[in-house]
Structure 1
């Protein structure tokens, strides 16, 4: 891991402890807007710090396995542990770099999904119905709420047009490029 990434993660861990103290302060609890902002920052920071702590644990495992290489009886087990720790650390390093990328503020917004049947008559209306069910199930698996804003059903059970409102954390960020 690069030193500036490690420094950033250490600062993030310190900020998480600071946020814990701030969230328990009585003046923050009285201001709902400030409490909401700090809670969001705390949630983001805790995700990053959790992955960073796993990285540090695997780094410590790697160091102890390297020390065990000197013992002939434990050398094979130490090599396996070293390989496993290095693979885990590489994966966690990639995950940490992705978590540190700046986020688009619009990603947390709600989304509207508009589905319209194209040319093709009843078959396209049935496909639009299947597509609406697909997005609804996907949203439910993500823990989002789906509300049908408007619908125009066809005679055979599909939709000529349906508009869904998907609300939940990260809905717009995940659905923005669907077309």
Structure 2
């Protein structure tokens, strides 16, 4: 499986990063320290998902073996229920892992400047720009981001 290979690689890299963190010289280089700690957090999240994934795969294997090897019908039924539950959780976890394997964008922690202008369209365009401004402002508030309106020119109808 390609996914398991990638997860094994991430686990190996996580072990390397753990060794780097223990190096006392790492603190002397602030940029390298920051980058290493960021990578450590990223890899630790992947590795925790990987551990959960391995448990699900092992549970599926164990339940399948129990269904084929067990003579007691009650035990077989319990194993079937467990197998069904594990197989339902597996695709969701695989999707979470695949999303987490996408490397974070280094620009995610940078500031942005957003300019919204009304172009052709008159009053309707200026009202639309106001709606966009409110939408982005509310999004920033929900995410806990700081916003600053540098300049806004209000129109007669209440738009920008």
With normalisation by structure 1, the TM-score equals 0.71
In proportion to residue count, which structure has more helix? Answer: 2
Change (3 A) 1:52 1:140: farther
Aligned-partner Cα distance in 2 for 1:76–1:109: 54
Which one has more relative contact order, counting CA pairs under 8 Å at least 6 apart? 1
Q: Secondary structure at the match of 1:114?
A: coil
Q: CA deviation at 1:103?
A: 5.6
Match of 1:95 in 2: 96
Per-residue Cα deviation, 1:38-94 (whole angstroms, up to 9, x for no partner) = 122122212222221221121122233224422311322322221221232223223
Runs of 4+ deviating beyond 6 Å: none
Per-residue Cα deviation, 1:125-176 (whole angstroms, up to 9, x for no partner) = 22211211111222333343333233223334332xxxxxxxxxxxxxxxxx
Number of aligned residue pairs = 157
Change (3 A) 1:25 1:148: farther
Q: How does 1:8-157 map to 2 (within 5 A)?
A: 8-69=6-67, 70=70, 71-101=72-102, 105-106=106-107, 109-157=110-158
Please list every run of 5 or more consecutive structure 1 residues that lacks an aligned counterpart in the other structure: 160-179
Match of 1:165 in 2: none
Change (3 A) 1:134 1:101: same
Aligned-partner Cα distance in 2 for 1:96–1:76: 30
With normalisation by structure 2, the TM-score equals 0.78
Please list every run of 5 or more consecutive structure 2 residues that lacks an aligned counterpart in the other structure: none
Q: Secondary structure at the match of 1:112?
A: coil
Larger Rg: 2
Q: What is the RMSD computed on CA atoms of the aligned residues?
A: 2.6
Aligned-partner Cα distance in 2 for 1:107–1:81: 40
